[in-house]
Amino acid sequence: MQEHEAYMRRCLELAQLGMGSVSPNPMVGAVLVHGGRIVAEDFHRKFGGPHAEALVMVDVQRRYGERAADLFRSATMYVSLEPCAHYGKTPPCAKLLADHQVARVVIACRDPFDKVNGLGVSILKEAGVEVIEGVLEREASWINRRFMTRVRHQRPYIILKWAQTADGYMAPSDRTQRWITGEVAQQLVHRWRSEEDAVLVGTKTALMDHPQLTVRKWQGKNPKRILVDKYLAVSPHTALFDGSAETIVFNASRSDWTENVKYIELEDMDWYLPQKIAYQLYLMDIQSLIVEGGRNTLDLFIDAGLWDEARVFTSRDMWGAGISSPALHAAPGESHPIGPDRLDIYYRNRYQTV
């Protein structure tokens, strides 16, 4: 079992290289082992592209030519998620492995998607392939917690983010803009944005802070920008509408699509607003969301119990007055120094969503 775990850990390392590129697909790594050594490895690189197992098989065929067939028949494929069993943007990987008579397939966890769940394993077993399941299952599920949450709960994985002073304030009382964290924390936030599908703010944050919600301090893709603006009070000439990323505006009166801006009307925005937003984003294949709004927006999601992680920066500054930060009434699961600041990460139900 230790040997299986070592190779599976490599699969998990590879899988995470697809962060920010494969959504709404899961991140998957695959390793082919023959004669006690890794002969090929790869990961799912982008949505719509070949899956990890297919990339490994092609690589082996390219490098070993006619010898590849014999190699497959005595090799073990390690894969961090059950091989797919249906025709989507790519052919089913389970059938590919079965057709090439790979001797053994070791899987970390099953795919909860109803067109795959258990069916990939069945295809392999019916073809005479030995299947071992559950190697580092919890770790593999956790890596794909965004995908698991979307499939099982029909909503995105929701991350709350804010910064606060050492005495618990997140903004000045007069609503002026005032930085709390240092440059290192700001760069980390931009990296987080590149890893998630969308980032959300409310009307007050958009009006007061004029955020761009881009990754200009990090290399990567800009997330979709979500603005909750009931009365369309935010000017279309602000940075949120600069065309650098798709912008979705949830509001009470308008539904249309103009260039890179989508207006979505929601009925009765005073009731169950976070739930309505989460379901709309699910329908749009948005798998993960960072909520970067002000106190009112954050409290909406906290009060609804609709969050999975909270990432909270605390600086050394003491303001003595201001708008108080949200209260989670929980202990952080992790704490890290980030430059002069501290990052606390809270998990609402760690591992339970997977």
| Active-site hit among 3, 13, 53, 259 | 53
Which residue type, as a one-letter code, is found at position 185? A
Task: Please tell me the distance from the alpha carbon of residue 354 to that of residue 348, in angstroms, as a whole number.
Answer: 13
In this structure, the dihedral spanned by the alpha carbons of residues 143, 149, 155 and 156, taken in order and rounded to 10 degrees, is -10
Q: Would the CA dihedral through 332, 333, 338, 340 be positive or negative?
A: positive
Q: Specify whether 53 is catalytic.
A: yes
What is the phi/psi pair of residue 239, to 5°?
Answer: -60, -30
What distance lies between CA 152 and its chain's CA centroid?
14
- CB 110 within 8 Å of CB 117: yes
| All residues at 6 or more sequence positions from 349 whose CB lies less than 8 Å from its CB, including other chains | 308
Q: Burial of 306 by CB count in 10 Å (0-12 exposed, 13-18 middle, 19+ buried)?
A: buried
Residue 334: helix, strand or coil by DSSP? strand
Distance from first CA to last CA of the chain, Å, rounded? 23
Active site residues: 53
